[in-house]
């Protein structure tokens, strides 16, 4: 059966998944609705959190023609949401609202400790009886599936069956992404991956990590290269997918060669008419 979460589907096949950060606004969502990205991450960490606008953005991302032509309910691209709270804040309600609106996964910023990672996974799961398989981490998500089930195009009961975290639940369609953004997170990453099942992938937080290392946004600085390499090595040792947040035409081949499989690239806007006009009129 075809995946509803296109990002999980691609990763499950051993391929590379492509995504981008998107402002949680309908106009921005509409621009990505016909893109070739596997997923988009609605950015609510550094953008205002507005659940109503996020709901509308999710709707504008849907393209009925693409769904019809594909012959599947799979979202293209699949919407994920980066929530505002850092791991240490142990937030749950932003994730609950995003999932209840229909998001297929949550990106958790600034995860540094095992208990923070456990909270991130638990917040994306419904509670399960102790006797059931995949009980840990025990779910903390509240029950309000109607809007999400409608968005996914399934019944409430089918949504319950599919709304679990992958790969902890092999048939789960919810992706939990945790960001490692400081040295404490790197130090604790082996324990996080060993003790917290249900993490779909690790995404490096280069901005905050570079700030802590004293080389803000100097992404090619030796300290940054060393920190990234440590994260990639740990993820590969634990057979966990690792993502790169700043893939460009310049570094794409290197990033792929280094073993990243979740590749985030920012869309580029060009203005050829403006550029040519400024050149012809001597204003370039």
CATH for 220: 3.20.20.60
- CA count, 13 A, side-chain hemisphere, 74: 19
> Is 164 a domain residue?
yes
> Is 171 a domain residue?
yes
Q: Per-residue pLDDT for 129 more than 70?
A: no
> How far is residue 92's CA from residue 131's CA, in Å, rounded to a whole number?
25
Structurally, how many domains does the chain consist of? Answer: 1
Q: Per-residue pLDDT for 133 more than 60?
A: no
Average pLDDT rounded to a whole number, residues 65-77: 89
Q: Per-residue pLDDT for 1 more than 70?
A: no
Domain containing 81 equals: 6-280
What pLDDT does residue 131 have? Answer: 59
Question: Residue 174 in contact with residue 124, Cβ under 8 Å?
Answer: yes
Residues 219-237: tens digit of each pLDDT: 999 999 999 999 999 999 9
> Is 1 a domain residue?
no
Q: Per-residue pLDDT for 68 more than 70?
A: yes
Average pLDDT rounded to a whole number, residues 143-166: 96
Question: Which pLDDT band, with edges at 50, 70 and 90, does 57 fall under?
Answer: very high
> Is 66 a domain residue?
yes
What pLDDT does residue 70 have? Answer: 87
Average pLDDT rounded to a whole number, residues 57-65: 94
> Is 191 a domain residue?
yes
> How far is residue 245's CA from residue 229's CA, in Å, rounded to a whole number?
14
> Is 119 a domain residue?
yes
Q: What percent of the chain has pLDDT over 70?
A: 97
Question: Which pLDDT band, with edges at 50, 70 and 90, does 136 fall under?
Answer: confident
Residues 87-126: tens digit of each pLDDT: 999 999 999 999 999 999 999 999 999 999 999 999 999 9
Strand partners, 178: 108, 202
Angle at 240 between CA 236 and CA 245, to 5 degrees: 90
Residues 111-120: tens digit of each pLDDT: 999 999 999 9
Question: Which pLDDT band, with edges at 50, 70 and 90, does 269 fall under?
Answer: confident
What pLDDT does residue 132 have? Answer: 57
Question: Residue 104 in contact with residue 80, Cβ under 8 Å?
Answer: yes
What pLDDT does residue 278 have? Answer: 93
Q: Per-residue pLDDT for 204 more than 80?
A: yes
Residue pointed to by tokens 């789960």: 172
> Is 56 a domain residue?
yes
Residues 240-267: tens digit of each pLDDT: 999 999 999 999 999 999 999 999 999 8
> How far is residue 103's CA from residue 58's CA, in Å, rounded to a whole number?
8
What pLDDT does residue 31 have? Answer: 94
Report the mean per-residue pLDDT for the chain: 95
> Is 225 a domain residue?
yes
Average pLDDT rounded to a whole number, residues 208-224: 97
Question: Which pLDDT band, with edges at 50, 70 and 90, does 202 fall under?
Answer: very high
The 10 Å Cβ neighbour count of residue 23 is 17
What pLDDT does residue 45 have? Answer: 97
What pLDDT does residue 268 have? Answer: 84
């Amino acid at each position: 059966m075809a995946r509803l979460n296109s990002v999980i589907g691609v990763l499950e096949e051993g391929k590379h998944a492509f995504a981008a950060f998107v402002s949680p606004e309908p106009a921005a969502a509409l621009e990505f609705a016909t893109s070739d990205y596997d997923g988009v991450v609605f950015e609510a960490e550094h953008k205002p959190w507005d659940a109503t606008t996020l709901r509308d953005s999710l709707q504008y991302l849907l393209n009925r023609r693409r769904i019809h032509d594909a012959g599947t309910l799979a979202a293209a691209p699949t919407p994920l949401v980066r929530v505002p709270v850092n791991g240490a804040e142990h937030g749950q309600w932003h994730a609950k609202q995003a999932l209840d609106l229909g998001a297929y996964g949550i990106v958790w910023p600034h995860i540094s400790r095992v208990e923070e990672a456990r909270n991130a996974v638990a917040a994306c799961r419904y509670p399960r009886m102790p006797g059931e398989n995949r009980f840990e981490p025990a779910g903390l998500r509240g029950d309000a599936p109607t809007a999400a089930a409608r968005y996914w195009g399934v019944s409430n009961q089918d949504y319950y069956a599919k709304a679990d975290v992958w790969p902890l639940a092999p048939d789960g369609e919810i992706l939990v992404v945790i960001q490692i953004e400081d040295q404490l997170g790197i130090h604790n990453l082996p324990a996080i991956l060993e003790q917290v099942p249900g993490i779909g992938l690790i995404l490096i937080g280069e901005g905050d990590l570079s700030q802590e290392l004293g080389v803000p946004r100097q992404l090619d600085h030796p300290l940054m290269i060393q920190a990234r390499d440590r994260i990639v090595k740990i993820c590969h040792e634990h057979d966990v997918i690792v993502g790169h947040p700043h893939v460009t035409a310049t570094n794409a081949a290197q990033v792929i060669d280094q073993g990243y499989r979740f590749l985030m690239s920012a869309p580029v806007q060009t203005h050829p008419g403006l550029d040519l006009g400024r050149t012809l009129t001597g204003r370039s």
